[in-house]
Structure 1
Amino acid sequence: MNTKPILHRDDPEAEPLVGNIKVTRDDWLNVAMDVLISDGVEQVKVMNLAERMAVSRSSFYWYFKSRQELLDALLARWQATNTVALIAQSELPAGTITAAVCNVQRCVVNTELFDTALDFAVRDWARRSGKVRRMLDQSDARRLAALREMFIRFDYDETEAETRARVLYYMQIGYDLAQLNEPMAIRLSMVPHYLYVFTGVEPRPEEITEFSAYAKRFWEGAGHEPA
């Protein structure tokens, strides 16, 4: 197991802090999030986290009463990022339904809006916890409701809006789960066709240009090869 301290700081070039240091509540949460994503919820244990940060586990109890409180905080952060962001993107003003879907699809390329790895970690966690399963079901329902309302705003009837919301949402989950690792140029070339499938409307060229520029900025910033 990797025990190198992985404290998060504002300066990504700074060396990890080690030794007799004071860590913050966010430090514990950030490292717990890393472990949840990389190793699963079973490894989110106080001793494991303390070893990774090279600190005494006693400092944990300055911020959390128990491991369960930490786990609840992780779920709260997941809800406050992924679910809230997707809903917010679906509610942004847009002149066309294809532009509205492009707003939602920004969640796919911008991990600051939506952390796909975290979403998959919570889905895996839900297989082991009835409580997390219920929270995930509620979150999925909220996300789908927001997408349905987005289509309704553009005059789709309720049945079609529900169907298209499901196609859009579940297709993206499956797409990410497949981990295709396809070149950016190929993925971007498919955007107009996906938008047509999702909406039944041909997207405007300027919408494709704007979304492609947005996607390239974030994908290249994440280390992907340029298109």
Structure 2
Amino acid sequence: MTTSNVAETAEADAEAGRRTTREDWLDLAKDILVSEGVGSIKVLALAQRLGVSRSSFYWFFKSRRDLLDQLLHYWEHKNTASIVERAKRPSHSIVEAVFNLFECWVDEALFDPGLDFAVREWARRSPTVRELVDRADNERVAAITGMFANHGYEEPEAFVRARVIYFMQIGYYALGVREPLDVRLSYSEAYVRSFTGKDPTTTEMNRFRNLAKKLAASANGKKT
């Protein structure tokens, strides 16, 4: 290859790099992880789907391993951080605290269930990812345990209630339960009573239902 050809190739690669962003690659890799699994995340396949050269990938990532590590970082930051933040949010009652946590289950901007399930599938084949998932589960349960403890629940009750609420929701995703929003909301009062032993007030119920419906309307609007 001549010097001019090398220069032309470098210029083409630079242009391809400018046509994409780091987020473009991460978003596509995340979509493939969720729909096809980690084994289908290949640099060449990503480049072809984005319509750029393979070499442009290296403008943003050192290697495929670097991309996968950043995907895991994104998953931890998005899903675990949201649960921990909601569990630690100041609240006047345990019912309000649980509804704060429920926001993660109705707003995929806070918690992405498809991504969480995909990472758990990945963990079946990778001891390193398994350790990350175990750590995330422990961190999430610890935050919810603290939420109950802050409202007067003693050990081991706070820990057991935290496990019940968290394991139930993860199981809901794992089983692929599909329910219309109105049906899910019709159960929310009974769920809260089961999780906390307390009855939600009408104000607390209406606040959460209105929020859930607003989020659902917004999500549906983005799909159309």
- 1:25 and 2:22 are equivalent in the alignment: yes
Partners in 2 of 1:184 and 1:142 — Cα distance?
28
**Which one of 149, 152, 155 corresponds to residue 155 of structure 1?**
152
- 1:131 and 2:128 are equivalent in the alignment: yes
TM-score by length of 2: 0.89
Larger CA deviation: 96-105 vs 22-31: 22-31
Q: Please name the residue that 1:99 is paired with.
A: 96
- Check conservation: 2:43, 2:64, Cα contact below 8 A: yes
Partners in 2 of 1:67 and 1:186 — Cα distance?
42
TM-score by length of 1: 0.88
**CA distances 1:2-60 after superposition (whole Å, capped 9, x unpaired):** xxxxxxxxxxxxxxxxx956211111111111111111100111011111111111001
**Which one of 202, 205, 209 corresponds to residue 206 of structure 2?**
209
**CA distances 1:68-104 after superposition (whole Å, capped 9, x unpaired):** 0100000001111100110000011111101100000
Partners in 1 of 2:42 and 2:96 — Cα distance?
43
**Which one of 164, 168, 171 corresponds to residue 171 of structure 1?**
168
Which one has the largest radius of gyration? 2
Q: Please name the residue that 1:74 is paired with.
A: 71
Partners in 2 of 1:174 and 1:130 — Cα distance?
22
Query: Once the two structures are aligned, what percentage of the paired residues are identical?
Result: 46
Q: Which has the higher helix share?
A: 2
Larger CA deviation: 77-86 vs 181-190: 181-190
Q: Please name the residue that 2:185 is paired with.
A: 188
Q: Please name the residue that 2:5 is paired with.
A: none
SS at match of 1:72: helix
- Check conservation: 2:99, 2:208, Cα contact below 8 A: yes
SS at match of 2:220: coil
Partners in 1 of 2:37 and 2:108 — Cα distance?
19
Two-structure CA RMSD over aligned residues (Å): 1.4
- Check conservation: 2:82, 2:110, Cα contact below 8 A: yes
SS at match of 1:65: coil
Partners in 1 of 2:175 and 2:129 — Cα distance?
23
**Which one of 39, 44, 52 corresponds to residue 42 of structure 1?**
39
